[in-house]
Amino acid sequence: MRKFDGDKLLVATHNAGKLQEMTEMLAPHGVTVVGAAAMDLPEPEETEDTFVGNARIKAHAAAKATGLPALSDDSGITIDALEGAPGVYTADWAETGQGRDFMMAMTRANDEITAKGPDAPRTAQFRCTLVLAWPDGHDEVFEGVMPGTLVWPIRGEHGFGYDPMFMPDGYDITCAEMEKEEKNSISHRGRAVQAFLAGCFG
């Protein structure tokens, strides 16, 4: 596996919540995170139908544009009662034309599960694929999963996206009720970052 040997890492995301979590998780390892917006990078179209496909698009676009290694994150939620939906379309469910509305997206998720009947499982997984791409076209892929249950009504003010409806296995609070360190220690993104650190450092 190719090593990352810089001290500044371009994280190819326009999502402020992801960027904050990456910064918190990588700072203790001496890595300074720079986001896509700070580098004036455009937001590429995510035209693939897999997490790894879209993560590759974002990482390679940023690496080519800057000449620096770039780490992207493609993530989302897979709901068992909905055969894995919204999956790679997790962000699309929140799209309104005037920005994203995650209350609308979470309501849709709850409504679609409820429509499956009282016995439908409420289990789901948060999934994260990280791709580290270099300007020469090489890349490395890392994945993380967090299993849990979708609760209704939503609870908590922390985090972002679907955090207020996601209760990780082994917890009786949602990701939006956790301290950020706690979420990072068990989350899909946290697990993928651990794999990245184990694979690309040292």
Ligand X SMILES: O=c1nc[nH]c2c1ncn2[C@H]1C[C@H](O)[C@@H](COP(=O)(O)OP(=O)(O)OP(=O)(O)O)O1
Q: Which residues are catalytic?
A: 74
Q: What string marks each residue from 27 to 66 as x (binds Mg ion by CB under 5 A) or -?
A: ----------------------------------------
Which residue lies nearer to ligand X by CB, 97 or 118? 97
Residues with Cβ within 8 Å of 171's Cβ and at least 6 positions away in sequence, in order, are 148, 178
Do 26 and 193 meet the contact criterion of CB atoms below 8 Å apart? yes
Q: CA of 132: how far to CAs of 27, 70, 75, 116, 154, in Å?
A: 17, 6, 15, 39, 34
Asked if 76 interacts with ligand X (CB under 6 A), we say yes
What is the token pair recorded at 176? 């939006």
Which residue lies nearer to ligand X by CB, 56 or 189? 189
Task: Return the residue of 13, 110, 125, 184 that touches ligand X, per CB under 6 A.
Answer: 13
Task: Return the residue of 10, 59, 73, 134 that touches ligand X, per CB under 6 A.
Answer: 73
Task: Answer with the entry of ligand X, Mg ion, none that 127 interacts with (C-beta below 5 to 8 A by kind).
Answer: none
State which of positions 82-111 bind Mg ion (CB under 5 A): 91
Q: Please give the helix or strand (H or E) that residue 56 lies within, else none.
A: helix 51-66
Q: CA of 54: how far to CAs of 7, 76, 103, 154, in Å?
A: 25, 12, 24, 29
Give me the sheet containing 123-133, strands edge to edge: 32-35, 8-11, 70-79, 123-133, 139-150, 166-168
CB 202 to ligand X: min, Å: 26
CB 117 to ligand X: min, Å: 26
Task: Return the residue of 91, 130, 132, 141 that touches ligand X, per CB under 6 A.
Answer: 91
Do 69 and 196 meet the contact criterion of CB atoms below 8 Å apart? no
Point out which residues bind Mg ion (CB under 5 A): 91
* Numbered residues of the known binding site: 13-18, 45, 74-75, 160-163, 183, 188-189
